[in-house]
A = this chain, B = another copy of it.
Amino acid sequence: MLKKERHQFIMDKFKDADKVNTIDLALELEISEDTIRRDFNELHNKGLIEKVYGGAFLVKDKSRNVFDISIFNEDKKIIVGQKALSFLSEGQVIIMTGGTTNLSFCKLIPIDFAATIYTYSLPIAMQLSQHPNIELIFIGGKLQKNAMVTVGIDVVQVLSKIKADVCFIGVSSLDVNQGLTEMGYEVSIVKKEMINASDKVIVLATSDKINRKMPHKVCGLDKIDAIVTELSPGSPRIKNFADAGARLF
C-alpha cells in the first residue's frame, strides 16, 4: 500500500467517525504505529487533521472569513500566554508584535488591565480593542498582507521615537547560535527596532519554532530577557538553550 493511499484511507475514516485511534489504524492496516504517527504528522502539517494523544481529529473546514483567524496549536499557545502573563504589570508601556502566539496571549490578558500598548498587527489591535483600560496605539505603515502587520520606514520611524518597558515578541524561528531569525527582511528590521525601543524583551514561542533558522537575523540570545515556551524550563528539548544561559520560562 502506498503512503498516499494510506493517507487517503485515514482521511476516509473521518467519514464514519470524527476521530481515529493510532493503534486501531495500525492493526487494521497491519503496519507499525510509528508509520501511522508519521502519517498523522504529515496530514497535520497540511492542516488536514489535528493530532491528539492517542489519535487524531479532522479539522473542520472553517469558512474562510477574513476575520476569523484560526490559531494553529492553540492549546500550546494558551499555555505560553498564561506563563507570559506574569511579565505584565499595570501601567507599563508595552510593544506587542504580531502572530498567533501573541494573539492567544492577548486573549488572556485580564479585561480590565491598564497599560499603553503599541502594536503593528491588525489582529492584535482588534483583540486589544476589547480592553477598555488599554491605551492602544497602532503603528501605521504599509501593510504586509500575509502577516497582517505594517512594515517599512514609517514603522521604524515611529519605533525609533518611543521607549517601552517591555516588548513581547512572537517569533518564527529561534536557534541557540543564530538567536532570533525571520523569514522576511522587512519584518526583521521592524523587530530589531522594537527590541531597541524596549527595556525588556520577552520572546513567546511554541516548541515547533525552536531550533530553527531563517535567513534574516533579528538579534542574538543575549538581547532576550525571557523565552517563554509551552515546555517546562527543564525540558531536554530546550536543554541547549538552558546550557547557553538563556532564561527559560
Q: Residue on B with the closest CB to A136? A: B143
Residue in B66, B123, B129 whose CB lies within 8 Å of A143:
B129
Residues of chain B with a CB closer than 8 A to A46's CB: 78
A138's partner among B4, B57, B137, B141 (CB-CB below 8 A) is: B141
Asked if A57 meets B4 with Cβ closer than 8 Å, knowing A140-B141, A140-B150, the reply is yes
Contact residues on A (Cβ < 8 Å of other chain), bracket: 35 or more
Q: Which of A128-177 contact B (CB under 8 A)?
A: 129-130, 132, 135-143, 145, 148, 150, 154, 158
Interface flag for A127 (CB, 8 Å): yes
Chain B residues near A52 (CB-CB < 8 A): 2-4
Residues in B neighbouring A127, C-beta threshold 8 A: 66
Instruction: Flag whether A122 is at the interface (Cβ < 8 A).
Output: yes
A126 at the interface (CB under 8 A from B): yes
A69 at the interface (CB under 8 A from B): yes
Q: Is the CB of A136 within 8 A of B145?
A: yes
Within 8 A of B (CB), among A115-129: 122-123, 125-127, 129
Asked whether A126 and B67 contact (CB < 8 A) given A46-B78, A140-B137, the answer is yes
List 25 A-B pairs, Cβ < 8 Å: A2-B19, A2-B54, A2-B55, A4-B52, A4-B57, A45-B78, A45-B82, A46-B78, A65-B67, A66-B126, A66-B127, A67-B69, A67-B123, A68-B68, A122-B126, A123-B126, A129-B145, A137-B140, A137-B142, A137-B143, A139-B140, A140-B140, A140-B150, A140-B154, A140-B158
List chain A positions with a Cβ less than 8 A from chain B: 2-5, 19, 21, 45-46, 52-55, 57, 65-69, 78, 82, 122-123, 125-127, 129-130, 132, 135-143, 145, 148, 150, 154, 158
* 7 nearest A-B residue pairs (beta carbon): A140-B140, A67-B67, A136-B143, A129-B145, A4-B52, A138-B140, A139-B140
